[in-house]
């Protein structure tokens, strides 16, 4: 299945996708990696893997609408079946989200709907919650508010600070994201009328990653 991945920074989730695709654990062809930041390390990761890269610098556009129009045109050149946001730090316009409706996914470092937006690890610790984690969701016009597909839970430990917690969550994100992308590539996962359908049935709640592992699904 052809995909395009959008990144803004380090690209560790991108690397997990590259590694899974290269080892035949993920039936996708990464047709391009696109970044809005010329210095994003994710671009280097893609180039080292022989994947085409493109930079579309948002600072060169007058407004969000103009940037997203150009971004959409660039993505469409690669004809992806799925657009994967992997640390793409831009709020997308309604027009772009609508264009890719049902084939645009994102990973977010919290157990949505808890802690949408930024600084999720610090906010989770300040709230005193017992567990944190990450979520993969379809993208809609509500920031970090689209239907959640799958989540992984990470217990908060004594002595955790935002960096330590973020490190543990990130390690779980890699397998979480590749699992969701593989399901989509296999045709098991769809968005129908803003509802997540998995294996032909509507999900009443997000899939738990560890339970999926116990049932035999591997990332």
What are the Cα distances from residue 186, in Å, to 5, 12, 36, 75, 107? 18, 23, 29, 22, 19
Give the CA angle between residues 76, 11, 186 to the nearest 5°: 55
Can you tell me the distance from the alpha carbon of 106 to that of 94, in angstroms, rounded to the nearest whole number? 16
Residues listed for the chain? 219
The residues assigned a catalytic role are 108
- The answer to whether 182 and 27 are in contact (CB under 8 A) is yes
Neighbours of 158 (CB within 10 A): 4
Q: Is 208 helix (H, G, I), strand (E, B) or coil?
A: strand
10 Å CB burial of residue 20 (0-12, 13-18, 19+) is buried
- Of 39, 37, 41, 15, nearest to 26 by C-alpha is 15
- The answer to whether 5 and 86 are in contact (CB under 8 A) is yes
Q: Is 118 helix (H, G, I), strand (E, B) or coil?
A: coil
């Amino acid at each position: 299945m052809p995909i395009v991945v959008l990144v803004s920074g380090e690209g560790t989730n991108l690397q997990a996708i590259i590694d899974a695709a290269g080892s035949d654990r993920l039936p996708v062809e990464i047709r391009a990696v696109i970044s809005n930041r010329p210095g994003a390390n994710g671009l280097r990761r893609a180039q080292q893997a022989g994947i085409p890269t493109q930079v579309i610098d948002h600072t060169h556009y007058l407004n969000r609408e103009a940037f997203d129009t150009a971004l959409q045109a660039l993505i469409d050149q690669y004809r992806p079946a799925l657009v994967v946001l992997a640390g793409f730090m831009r709020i997308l316009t309604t027009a772009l989200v609508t264009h890719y409706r049902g084939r645009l996914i994102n990973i977010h470092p919290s157990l949505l709907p808890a802690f949408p937006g930024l600084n999720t690890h610090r906010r989770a610790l300040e709230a005193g919650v017992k567990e944190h984690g990450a979520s993969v969701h379809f993208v809609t016009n509500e920031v970090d508010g689209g239907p959640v597909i799958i989540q992984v839970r990470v217990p908060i430990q004594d002595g955790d600070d935002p960096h330590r917690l973020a490190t543990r969550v990130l390690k779980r994100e890699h397998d979480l994201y590749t699992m969701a992308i593989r399901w989509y590539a296999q045709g098991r996962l769809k968005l129908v009328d803003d509802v997540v359908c998995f294996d032909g049935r509507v999900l009443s709640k997000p899939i738990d990653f560890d339970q999926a592992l116990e049932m035999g699904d591997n990332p």
